[in-house]
Amino acid sequence: MFGPFVMTVALLTIGTELLRGEVANINGQWLADQLTQLGFDIAAMETVADHHEKLVATLRRLLDTHALVIATGGLGPTTDDLTTAAAAEVAGVELATNHDALATIKHRIEERGDELRPGHDKQALLPVGGELLPNTEGTAPGFILRTGGATVYCLPGVHREMQHMFEQQVVPRIRGAASNDGYTVCLHTFGPHESWLADRLESLKLEHPDVTVGYQATGSSIDLRIHARGPDYAQARDRVKRAVDEARARLGDVIYGEGDQTMALLAGRAVRKRGWRLAIAESCTGGLISHQLTSQPASDYLVGGAVTYANSAKTSLLGVSEDTLRGHGAVSAEVAAELAEGARRVFDCEVGISATGIAGPTGAAPGKPIGLCHWAVAHPDGTELEQRVFSGTRSQVQYKAAHAVLALLRRTLAGNNL
């Protein structure tokens, strides 16, 4: 299927907006991660503008040197969507209307109360000899084209559509071509800086020479990607597992999750495990904690919350004492405690959490710099408090504070003293 030469993979993301930085290239990043997990070696990742000649030249070069190319973008209905025509030119074939694709496009457009237009009709044009990849999430179909012993999969640029098509239609077709001799584990850490992590894991490479460790900052945490190859999948997995066990022993509670485990998922799981209900009081995080918890189903444990920016709201809604506000200020451990306790009381819950701080870029005061945050977890046996000065932009401080609140919630509920 992929020709006689060694399987190497190239990724091609298409769009002038990507080169201008107007849109983040999440397709390239996501595909590289998925393909690596499958056991492929990514030999090249390129981005090309919506320019026919440049696209043809880039696609031809990649197909001349790689067995598999996965391209995203340029399949839409507008004049700058050029991928299909470029692929046909590279393969030396004509374009023809795929009537199955046209019928699907027409049905989807009519479902949303619109009518078929010339641009939509263009999306049903496919290179002769190409294999249709139906798009169950949108109107732009993908296709497979084989030329000169190499294969290109052309997928939509809309991330949701691309992701679904890749998982459902591409992976089953290419999985057997992977070397299947690699294994990766992603560990999520929170708290220390990257340099601290690197120092603790410095000798890991010497003890596990077949393993690589990569560091990736993800906003509020740092991910460790521990990867290895071996004679086969089982040996690669065993090498990684030994290195992961050593990393966990060295880092302890700094590691909070693995794979697709988010801090919000784990914190919610901790509340569920106790059979408790949760309420939230937010100031500096502005509803971000609530958003993170409700990104997964949470109605079985999350009762409600309040975003209380003004001092008057803190007092009237959650019962924070005016004396406490005058004596310590809104950004203080005392107010954080009363916010969490007030949320627990007002919403009649077993546990309440809170965050208050100075997200910036203004608001600093003597002894209270930008980035200072206080947070609390109130529960039947007392109230836990923490504070820290976070660095970064306003949104980065907010994300770090939200993450810290959920981390304290998880640790508190996992404690043996409750």
pLDDT tens-digit series, residues 198-216? 999 999 988 999 999 999 8
pTM to 2 decimals?
0.75
pLDDT averaged over every residue in the chain: 92
Structural element, H or E, at residue 91: helix 83-91
Confidence of residue 139 (pLDDT cuts 50, 70, 90): confident
* Domain spans, the chain: 9-177, 182-258, 263-414
Confidence of residue 7 (pLDDT cuts 50, 70, 90): low
Using the 8-state DSSP alphabet, how is residue 252 labeled? G
Residue 113 scores a pLDDT above 80: no
Q: Which token pair is 263?
A: 């801090």
Residue 14 scores a pLDDT above 90: yes
Mean pLDDT of 3-22: 82
**What is the share, in percent, of the chain residues with pLDDT greater than 90?**
75
Distance separating alpha carbons of residues 122 and 96, to the nearest angstrom: 10
pLDDT for 107: 82
Mean pLDDT of 395-418: 89
Question: 55 with 83: CB under 8 angstroms?
Answer: yes
Question: 371 with 358: CB under 8 angstroms?
Answer: yes
Confidence of residue 2 (pLDDT cuts 50, 70, 90): very low
Question: 200 with 224: CB under 8 angstroms?
Answer: no
Q: Is 45 helix (H, G, I), strand (E, B) or coil?
A: strand
Those residues whose C-beta lies under 8 Å from the C-beta of residue 51, and which sit 6 or more positions away, are: 16, 82
Residue 6 scores a pLDDT above 70: no
Q: Which residue has the higher pLDDT, 291 or 181?
A: 291
Confidence of residue 286 (pLDDT cuts 50, 70, 90): very high
Q: Which token pair is 316?
A: 């009237």
Residue 160 scores a pLDDT above 90: yes
Query: Where does residue 38 rank: exposed (0-12), middle (13-18), buried (19+ CB within 10 A)?
Result: middle
Mean pLDDT of 375-387: 97
pLDDT for 418: 60
Query: Where does residue 135 rank: exposed (0-12), middle (13-18), buried (19+ CB within 10 A)?
Result: buried
Confidence of residue 171 (pLDDT cuts 50, 70, 90): very high
pLDDT for 193: 86
Domains 182-258 and 263-414 share a fold: no
Mean pLDDT of 144-173: 95
pLDDT for 3: 41
Residue 357 scores a pLDDT above 70: yes
Those residues whose C-beta lies under 8 Å from the C-beta of residue 215, and which sit 6 or more positions away, are: 194, 197, 198, 222, 223, 224, 225
pLDDT for 341: 98
CA atoms within 13 A on the CB side of 200: 17
Distance separating alpha carbons of residues 260 and 244, to the nearest angstrom: 16
Tell me which residue of 45, 117, 48, 129 sits closest to 82, measured CA to CA: 48
At the top level of CATH, the class of 263-414 is alpha beta
Mean pLDDT of 76-104: 92
- The angle that helices 52-65 and 83-91 make with each other, rounded to 10 degrees, is 50
Tell me which residue of 70, 96, 24 sits closest to 169, measured CA to CA: 70
Distance separating alpha carbons of residues 290 and 56, to the nearest angstrom: 47
> By 3-state DSSP, what share of the chain in percent is helix, strand and coil, each rounded to 5?
45, 25, 35
> 262 pairs with which residues across the strands?
none
Distance separating alpha carbons of residues 67 and 11, to the nearest angstrom: 11
State the fold for domain 182-258: Alpha-Beta Plaits (3.30.70)
User: Which homologous superfamily does the CATH classification assign to the domain defined by 9-177?
Assistant: MoaB/Mog-like domain (3.40.980.10)
Tell me which residue of 251, 295, 314, 283 sits closest to 405, measured CA to CA: 283
Tell me which residue of 181, 180, 183 sits closest to 227, measured CA to CA: 183
CA 171 to chain centre: 20
Question: 362 with 284: CB under 8 angstroms?
Answer: no
Using the 8-state DSSP alphabet, how is residue 168 labeled? I
pLDDT for 1: 42
